[in-house]
Structure 1
Amino acid sequence: MAYFENLTLEKGMYGVPGKSFTQVLEGLDSSEQYRGTPLEGLDAYQRQLKRFGIRVSGPGSDPVEKFFQSSSSAALFPEYVARAVGQGMEAADQLKDMVATVTKIDGLDYRTITVEGEETAPLKAVAQGAQLPATTIRVNDGLVKLRKRGRTLMTSYEALRFQKLDLLTVALRQIGASMAASQMLDAVDALLNGDGSKPGVTCATGTPNYGDFIGLWGKLAPFTLNTVVAGTAAMEKLLQISEFKDAQAGMNFQGTGRLVTPLGAKLLHVPGMEEKKILAFDKNCALEMVQAGEIQTDYDRLMDRQLDRASISVVTGFARIYQGAAQGLTYTEA
């Protein structure tokens, strides 16, 4: 039962194709065998933290140097960095309200599919023996454009060794939040300007006013308008429309911090989005997110205490699924 205390940890565990460090650990020390024990609820990585007595959160968190008490414990540091960045990405992530599906790949080449046919039109009744309408699904000729987003640490081990891990986690989470914001802009760009295989949305021109918003809703049919994204200035314009000042919507915003429209669509604020543009779409049909691997770190540098210029990155891309599932509005000043 104490097998986790005897595992040999090494750099090579970060280089296993298609697996994260924690997944490699789980393969050697499965959490299933700890059911009904005091260690139930901990994953393989958390058991290794317990093995070396490393506390990464809370008022009693350890200093950074605790990871480097031995070469084995140092092997846990890159995963700590990746997890902290991942927590920041998850906390700031609005992509779950934008993408229909997430496809994870091991390489850097990926072709998505295209659906051809009147897939949104009502199905007509056919006579006995007559041929049913066809929907063609084929692989795109072009590759999905993948982008690498990340940060490079500019610090030293000496500067951080006595700092508490809980404080370092705050900084790493903010890096993750920045990476998530960049991915949001990439998703918006795929809708506005196309993904390389499918063109961007055709934007109508408006003020904007409530009538323009209803127009977007109508153009989306039979898709469902459930998500609206806009930059800061455009969001301010939307929230000044009288119909958006609904009392119930205001109570929801005050209670949860979430913005909704009179039609029930969720409003997503995307700072840095192209000015005077508003996107309305069906999140269940508009976008596919392609993710190449997990969060990547310079694990060899981090394990060797060479924190200066150690990088943290993710590689993702976005592809449009149904072209009719997104509509745009370019507004002019009233």
Structure 2
Amino acid sequence: MYNDIKLEKGLYNLAGKSFTQALTAADPDENYADTPLAGLDAFERQLKRFDIKISGPDCDRVEKFFVTTESAVLFPEYVKRAVTQGMEESILSDIVAVKTNSDCNQYRGYVITESSPYTTRTSEGGTLPETSIKESPNSISLLKYGRLITASYEAVRLQRLDAFAVTLRSIGKKLGDAITASAVSTITTAATSTDIAGTTLAYSDLITLYGQFDSYNMNTIIASPKNAALILSMSQVQDCIAADEKGNIILPFGTVLIKSSQVNDYTILGFDRNYALELVTSSDLVMETDKLIDRQLDAFTVSMNLGFKSIIKDAAKALNLDV
């Protein structure tokens, strides 16, 4: 049972397992089906074990994690979850087609070459058109994204855990935005660009961009806050406005409009999010867990290594604005 789990630092260092996965292996979720603890994961059961409330009117303070040496082991996971939650508020999950885990910080991937269009017909006995998938001649380097966080234990120990989580989420959100900027840059570089005649973006320009997609579907547009506001002011959009479950605007022709400061005012980026971008990572979010457990909050880091690769070049196109 969860009350009998021995919590120690080593649970963060098991090869191929996160802290929560290590806890779950020792305390499987299925043991709690049809019990009051159903729906809680292994980490949340440990919070209940030590009566640590991280939200609500009776929310505890940071110092509650450090009442015992075992409960202190839970603190890094609390920090990681809060930072990760902030990172997940970025648009990254809306634009990545696939996530690949790499064993090293260099990733080569592959390139696709078509010998002829798919509409080419082959006579009986003739050679079929070829799609060649080969290892890419160029590799991408996975870069480290992270933050050094300094905070004395004395400064944070009396902070309510829900308020402290807001600070951690804000760090994660800004880190997620920085990572997203790299993702947007990768898509933009791969996209086929078209210059707009004139200096004012019109609804007809968006339709032109939409019409450039053949095999793939322009299901996503990323625009800067300035251009997103301009698009929303168009009468054709106002007459047929809708939103998805995340609050993103759905344009009349079915494309989701995402407002992001990670794209500049000179570019409207349209792409098929199911085919355009690959996220490559060699690690999840990494933290200096020993320092957090030992209350050495004076300086600890959160970081991860990742990179981006264009998958299908024809799945992304851009409009260049003269503004």
TM-score, normalisation: structure 2: 0.91
Offset of residue 106 of structure 1? 4.3
Q: Distance in 2 between matches of 1:5 and 1:283?
A: 44
User: Quick one: which of 57, 66, 84 aligns to 2:55?
Assistant: 57
Letter in 1 for 2:273: K
Paired residue type of 1:114 = V
Amino acid at match of 2:47: L
Change (3 A) 1:326 1:118: farther
* Aligned-partner Cα distance in 2 for 1:109–1:23: 27
- State the one-letter code of the partner of 1:229: I
How much does 1:316 deviate? 2.4
Q: 1:283 to 1:301 in 2, by over 3 A?
A: same
Q: Evaluate the alpha carbon distance shift between residue 107 and residue 72 of structure 1 in structure 2; reply closer, same or farther with a 3 A threshold.
A: farther
**Residue type matched to 1:323 in 2?**
K
Counterpart pick for 1:212 among 199, 205, 213: 205
Matching of residue 94 in structure 1 with residue 91 in structure 2: yes
Q: Which of 171, 174, 185 is the aligned partner of 2:170?
A: 174
CA–CA distance in 1 between the matches of 2:246 and 2:28?
A: 38
The partner residue of 2:310 within 309, 313, 320 is 320
Equivalent residues of 2:97, 2:274 under 8 A apart: yes
Amino acid at match of 1:115: I
1:184/1:270 contact within 8 Å kept: no
- 2: CA distance, partners of 1:67 / 1:13: 17
Q: Residue in 2 aligned with 1:66? A: 64
Note if 1:77 corresponds to 2:75.
Answer: yes
Q: Map 1:217-256; keep pairs closer than 5 Å.
A: 217-246=210-239, 248-249=240-241, 252-253=242-243
Residues 1-334 of structure 1 aligned to structure 2 (within 5 Å): 2=1, 4-90=2-88, 92-117=89-114, 121-193=117-189, 200-206=190-196, 207-246=200-239, 248-249=240-241, 252-253=242-243, 257-333=247-323
Give the drift of 1:256.
6.6
Distance in 2 between residues matched to 1:312 and 1:123, nearest whole Å: 50
CA–CA separation in structure 2 for the residues paired with 1:7 and 1:254: 42
* Match in the other structure for 1:196: none
In 1, Cα distance between equivalents of 2:29 and 2:296: 32
SS of 2:257's equivalent? strand
TM-score by length of 1: 0.88
Q: Deviations over 1:159-204 (max 9, x none)?
A: 11111111111111112211221222111110123xxxxxx32321
Residue-by-residue CA offset, 1:102-132 (whole Å, 9 max, x unaligned): 123343232222222168x434443444332
In structure 1, C-alpha distance between the alignment counterparts of 2:244 and 2:92, rounded to whole Å: 22
| 1:221-259 per-position Cα deviation (integer Å, ceiling 9, x unaligned) | 12111100111222233233332322x31xx35997321
Q: How many residues align?
A: 320
Counterpart contact for 2:195–2:321, Cα < 8 Å? yes
CA contact (8 A) 1:88 1:177 kept: yes
Query: Following the alignment from structure 1 to structure 2, what is the Cα–Cα distance between the partners of residues 201 and 256?
Result: 26
Unaligned runs of 5+ in 1: 194-199
Judge which range, 121-130 or 216-225, deviates more: 121-130
Q: Is the 8 A contact 1:233 1:276 kept in 2?
A: no
CA distance in 2, matches of 1:255, 1:36: 31
Q: After the TM superposition, which parts of structure 1 deviate over 4 Å for at least 4 consecutive aligned residues?
A: 253-256
Post-superposition shift, 1:22? 0.5
Contact 1:17–1:106 under 8 Å retained in 2: no
In structure 2, the CA distance between the partners of 1:105 and 1:47, relative to structure 1 (3 Å rule), is farther
Q: Is the 8 A contact 1:55 1:61 kept in 2?
A: yes
Aligned to 1:324, the other structure's residue is in SS state helix
2: distance between equivalents of 1:75 and 1:156? 18
Q: Which moved more, 1:5-14 or 1:224-233?
A: 5-14
Letter in 2 for 1:107: C
User: C-alpha distance in 2, partners of 1:288/1:174?
Assistant: 25
Is 147-156 or 78-87 further displaced after alignment? Answer: 147-156
Q: Distance in 2 between the 1:267 and 1:24 partners?
A: 40
8 Å contact 2:105–2:141 — kept in the other structure? no
Q: Identity, % of aligned pairs? A: 39
